[in-house]
Amino acid sequence: MNAISASEIKTLRLSIYRYDPLKEEKPYMQDFDIDIPAEKDLMVLDVLMLAKEQDPSISFRRSCREGVCGSDGLNINGKNGLGCITPLSDAVKSNKLSIRPLPGLPVIKDLIVDMKQFVDQYKKVKPYLITDKKVDTRKAIPQTIEEREKLDGLYECIMCGCCSTACPSFWWNPDKFLGPAALLQAYRFIADSRDTATEERLEQLEDAFSVFRCHGIMNCVSVCPKGLNPTKAIGEIKKMLVKRAL
């Protein structure tokens, strides 16, 4: 399964995408030699931090370093993933590791992309519970175990952006196609037995672009660091939209 076992790596050739739009006309790749302790299988984020010790001017986002905050979505040797939970043994090929920003979004600096478009699409789907029933605020809205199970695989999204920025449909129409992350979120609320706005949500998604630009390429599924399946959620929305149109 692993391209290379951890013990074979000694000095890693790391290549990092660098770009400061205020200072440089064009982005370039900067190379580093990083010494890796033989017995340790470091994560990609660890080697980025080691590179930053050599050159403190490298910029990248990071926070939890355990795969739950979604800060460090990166393009790692050509594949989107989280730096903090991608081990070198999975990522490194021929002792080379090349790290670029998530594709398709404007670069602010180095590995930092402007997430505005991504967040705007997220906000469009009204990512919050809507309920027209009178809620007794002194208790929980009842939900059965089976109803709650329908949210598994949906609510765990960490908004890292790996999926949407791996999606050709999102690259072409980032303003009109909502992208896998926002659509997963849309379905998370459609699927919630406590939410009563399904009709309103579907109506909003019914144009040619919002959902239907998804062509089932499934890049989103192959890169999701949480193992979620946005394509499936999008399929469910499509089914509901088709059913509704009949």
Partner 1 sequence: MAMNGKGTLLDASTLPVKEFDGIIVGGGGSGMMASLQLAKSGMNTAVVSKVFPTRSHTVSAQGGITCSIQSADPDDDWRWHMFDTVKGSDFIGDQDSIEYMCKEGPEAIFELENMGLPFSRTEEGKIYQRAFGGQSKDYGKGGQAERTCAAADRTGHALLHTLFQANVKAGTNFLSEWFAVDLVKNQSEQVVGVIAFEIESGEPYFLKSKATVLATGGAGRIYQTTSNALINTGDGTGMALRAGFPVQDMEMWQFHPTGIHGHGTLVTEGCRGEGGYLVNKDGERFMERYAPNYKDLASRDVVARSMFTEILEGRGCGPDADHVYLKLDHLGPEIVHKRLPGVTELSKRFAHVDPAEHPIPVVPTCHYAMGGIPTNVHGQVISQNSDGTDKIIDGLYAAGEAACVSVHGGNRLGGNSLLDLIVFGRSAGLHIEESFKSGIKMDNPSPDDVDYALRNLNRVNISQSGENFVEVKKDLQKTMQMNFGVFRTEELMENGIKEVSNLRDKSQNIHLADKSSQFNTARVEALELLNLIEVAEATAISANERKESRGAHSREDYPDRDDENWLKHSIYFSDTKQVSKREVNFRPKQVQAFQPIVRTY
Interface residues toward partner 1, by CB under 8 A: 20-23, 53, 56-57, 59-71, 85, 87, 108-110, 112, 115, 119, 123, 126-129, 131, 135, 137-145, 147-148, 151-152, 155-156, 158-159, 189, 192, 194-195
Nearer to partner 1, 30 or 212 (CB): 30
Listed in order, strand segments (DSSP E) in the chain are 11-18, 28-35, 73-76, 79-82, 96-100, 107-109, 112-113
Listed in order, strand segments (DSSP E) in 94-240 are 96-100, 107-109, 112-113
Nearer to partner 1, 115 or 220 (CB): 115
Contacts of 242 (CB under 8 A, 6+ apart): none
How many beta carbons lie within 10 A of that of residue 219, not counting itself?
21
Nearer to partner 1, 20 or 199 (CB): 20
- Environment class of residue 221 by beta-carbon count within 10 Å: exposed (0-12), middle (13-18) or buried (19+)? middle
Distance (Å, whole) CA 226 – CA 246: 35
* Least Å from the CB of residue 67 to partner 1: 7
* Least Å from the CB of residue 237 to partner 1: 18
Distance (Å, whole) CA 154 – CA 238: 16
* Least Å from the CB of residue 129 to partner 1: 3
* Least Å from the CB of residue 109 to partner 1: 4
Nearer to partner 1, 69 or 240 (CB): 69
Give SS3 for 45: helix
Which of 188, 117, 126 is CA-nearest to residue 157? 188
* Least Å from the CB of residue 223 to partner 1: 16
Nearer to partner 1, 41 or 236 (CB): 41
* Least Å from the CB of residue 88 to partner 1: 13
Nearer to partner 1, 151 or 241 (CB): 151
How many beta carbons lie within 10 A of that of residue 184, not counting itself?
29
The β-bridge partners of 32 are: 14
Nearer to partner 1, 110 or 205 (CB): 110
